[in-house]
């Protein structure tokens, strides 16, 4: 991850590249909402859940 909250994940087994771009320092550098709310990992989990669901349907 990066200072402003950017985050990336590469999963070769799933042929997946996940890139999350954000500006955590807006409106000020003390903004902790991105980390406190767990947005990045929640989105990542939704992606993996969708991948697993699509495998079941096949």
For residue 13, is it within any domain?
A: yes
15 inside domain: yes
Return d(Cα 43, Cα 46) in angstroms, integer. 5
Domain that holds residue 21: 7-57
Q: Is residue 11 part of a domain?
A: yes
Look at the chain and report how many structural domains it folds into.
1
Residue 58: its pLDDT value, please? 63
Q: In this predicted structure, what is the pLDDT of residue 43?
A: 93
34 inside domain: yes
pLDDT, one tens digit per residue, over 16-44 is 999 999 888 888 888 888 889 999 899 99
**What distances in angstroms separate CA 15 from CA 4, 5, 31, 48, 51, one per listed residue?**
26, 24, 33, 12, 11
- pLDDT of 24 reads 82
| Residue 2 included in any domain | no
pTM, to two decimals: 0.73
Which pLDDT does position 50 carry in this prediction?
94
pLDDT in the model for residue 19: 92
User: Per the structure block, which two tokens stand in for 37?
Assistant: 């709310």
> Above pLDDT 70, what percent of the chain?
97
């Amino acid at each position: 991850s990066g200072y402003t909250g950017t985050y990336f994940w590469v999963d070769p087994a799933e042929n997946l590249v996940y890139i999350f771009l954000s500006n955590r320092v807006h409106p000020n550098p003390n903004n902790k909402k991105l980390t406190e709310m767990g947005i990045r990992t929640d989105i990542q989990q939704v992606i993996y859940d969708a991948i697993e669901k699509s495998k079941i349907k096949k």
